[in-house]
Amino acid sequence: MTKKRVAVLVSGGGTNLQALIDYEKNNNANYEIVLVISNNKDAYALQRAKQNNIETAVISKKDLQITQEEWEEKIINKLEEKSIELIVLAGFMSILSKNFTSKYPNRIVNVHPALIPSFCGKGYYGLKVHEEVLKAGVKVTGATVHFVNEIPDGGKIIAQKAVEVKENDTPETLQKRVMEEAEWKILPESVNEICKQLKNKLKKVR
């Protein structure tokens, strides 16, 4: 059975991309990453993609000096060119408009480094999330994989995994533990499961 064609959108180091690549390599995955798009030409994630012979594209609104609409149009054109069936946001530091998200209902997935509905929404990304977790003094945090709609972190939850907050944690140590214990596990598993469901839907239609 053919694997579902996945595009991963990235902005930075690409550790979640690496987790997806490793899962695909080491399991009989239901997906194949065929495209990595970055809005940052210096993102190390692009190197990770190239090392694994995955096609890359850099589409930067800032560098191209174009509007949000024009920028999204370029991304959509690239996704259509590669017949992408699922889009994964893995550390992608740009908000996508309703115009974009409505084209792909239940076909865009994001991983957020906290247990939604806590510590999420506009402005909550990267280390800021872990700083706020520590400020609040909660004992448990984690990661959430969810579908993407026009509301930041507002789409339906797919999977969550809890991670203990330790007394001597810094935002950096907490970020690392949340990645290792939660993000890198539930993101590939969720993508694999969604692609399996997409394959099964196709079987039924046939």
86-141 pLDDT, tens digit per residue, is: 999 999 999 899 999 999 999 999 999 999 999 999 889 899 999 999 999 999 99
Specify the pLDDT at position 2.
Answer: 87
Catalytic residue selected from 24, 104, 109, 112: 112
Q: What angle do CA 86, 92, 77 make, to 5 degrees?
A: 50
pLDDT tens-digit readout, 43-89: 999 999 999 999 999 999 999 999 999 999 999 999 999 999 999 99
Q: Which domain holds residue 147?
A: 4-205
Question: For the domain that residue 14 is a member of, what is the CATH number?
Answer: 3.40.50.170
Active site residue 112: yes
What pLDDT score was predicted for residue 122?
87
Sign of the alpha-carbon torsion through 126, 172, 183, 5: positive
Domain tally for the chain? 1
Percent of the chain with pLDDT over 70: 97
In sequence order, the 6+-apart residues with CB closer than 8 A to the CB of 90 are 8, 9, 10, 14, 16, 17, 20, 45, 111, 187
